[in-house]
Structure 1
Amino acid sequence: MMIRRHYWFSGRVQGVGFRYKAYYIARSLGVTGWVRNNWDDRVEMEAQGTGEDLDQMVQMLNEQHFICIENIEMETIEIEEEHSFYVK
């Protein structure tokens, strides 16, 4: 079942390749959505796929060198019609 989640990641998440890792992981898992840096040093992301794929994506991001996710805020939102994942 497809779901869409809106995430806010905090910790050492800017300047460490987070957005591009998210892009490549999403593409490998078939997840759609977007990711961007926020002015408050957090990274914001919307991702759409199965719950298992989204959980795996977050786990894979947390395992990357240099990235240190200290906190994740998340909410489930409405599914959107889209076909790719991109960096804003």
Structure 2
Amino acid sequence: MSHIKSSSADLLARVRRIGGQVGAIDRALQADASCSEILHLVAAVRGAVNGLLDEIIAEHLEAHVSRPGLDDAERAAGAEELLAVIRRYSK
């Protein structure tokens, strides 16, 4: 996915932040933090992962579905790839 390279620094920064948030959950569990605190941390990670997924979906749509110059087969393949991800994610 060469189109991702243009935004890879931003995506990697998001992934590193998510890693830090997951580390915070680890530390909270080890420190016997309250259920409420842990739930908030987990919800924050879920939101961050959803944001990352949204960004990658948008880039995929632009590069593989709506980009001018794509032929019908390329558009169909891009749409099918995206549909497979959405179906997997929604389970």
Structure with the bigger percentage of strand: 1
Task: Point out the structure with max Rg over C-alpha.
Answer: 2
Same fold at TM > 0.5: no
State the structure with bigger RCO (CA 8 A, min sep 6), 1 or 2. 1
Q: Greater share of helix residues, 1 or 2?
A: 2
